[in-house]
Amino acid sequence: MTGETAAVTIRPAGRSDMAAVAIMAGEFHAFLAAMDHSDPAFDVARTERTLCRFGFGKKPLFSALIAEGSGAPVGYAIYSIGFWADSFQGVVFLTDLFVREAFRSRGIGRRLMGRLAAIGREQGCEIVLWTVWDRNQAAECFYERLGTTPMPDKKLMKWPISPREGLSG
């Protein structure tokens, strides 16, 4: 590990870090929007409120790590602990991983992933799962270098929950 990388610390993110995470999420959104020439508009203030609501309410829905270098945020990971019924294993679901462009290729993403694996071990989990946008070749290459395996037989599905509609149970 280079001295430069060693100077970066990774710690659990708190409510007070959500402003920085929201700003970096906006940077991530702009990075992804540039890949498909979509609208780079992003509401940082709304994102911060949403992160605080879902991450720090009565029943938090996610946890986060923040990477800092020289006292400034340089990256983050957002995750939750769950269960994967395909293999009946505890799982760390990584929902977002971002390292600022000026800090990429310094091992910070690898360290964030390593910390997630350690958290998973502490929680009794056996795997880390996440999605990668099929246009984000840099992310795919990064994860392949970690030794990950894509799941070609899976397709991520999305079903918005309406406040008044849904299936009767």
Kindly report the average pLDDT of the chain as a whole number: 90
Question: How much is the pTM?
Answer: 0.86
Is the predicted pLDDT of residue 4 greater than 60, yes or no?
Answer: no
| pLDDT for 51 | 98
Q: Which range has the worst mean pLDDT, 34-38, 75-79, 114-118, 132-136?
A: 132-136
CA distances (Å), origin 33, targets 13, 30, 88: 26, 5, 36
Give me the residue spans of the domains in the chain.
3-146
Is the predicted pLDDT of residue 138 greater than 90, yes or no?
Answer: no
77-90 per-position pLDDT tens digit: 999 999 999 999 99
Question: What is the pLDDT averaged over residues 45-70?
Answer: 96
CA distances (Å), origin 2, targets 53, 103, 146: 37, 13, 18
| pLDDT for 137 | 83
Question: What is the pLDDT averaged over residues 5-13?
Answer: 88
Query: Hey, what CATH class is 3-146 in?
Result: alpha beta
Contact 97, 72 (CB under 8 A): no
pLDDT confidence of 54, banded at 50, 70, 90? very high
Question: What is the pLDDT averaged over residues 50-76?
Answer: 96
| pLDDT for 5 | 57
